Amino acid sequence: MIDYDYDIEDFLAAYYEDIYSKEHPEEFEDERAELDEGEALWFEDDLKEMLEDWQPVEEQNISKKVEHIKEYVEERKNLLG
């Protein structure tokens, strides 16, 4: 993800929002009702775009990749204070 110049925090926000929406679809019913046919929620579009562009060098588990990204973000926050 970093190689494709995506904002890591944007990726994490879209990833976790997508997971949450799948676990609690009832909370997104109103938003989905307002969408035009074929339209997706913001995080679904963002995540799809990021993952389409991402071509890992080797097969990777997305959950592990997210954990690595979270560690990177935390380390970056610590360095920047």
pLDDT digits (tens, 9 = 90+) for 57-66: 666 678 888 8
pTM of the model: 0.60
Return the pLDDT at 6.
Answer: 66
Q: What one-character-per-residue DSSP string does 7-74 give?
A: -HHHHHHHHHHHHHHHH-GGGGHHHHHHSPTT---HHHHHHHHHHHH---SS---HHHHHHHHHHHHH
Return the pLDDT at 65.
Answer: 82
Return the pLDDT at 40.
Answer: 95
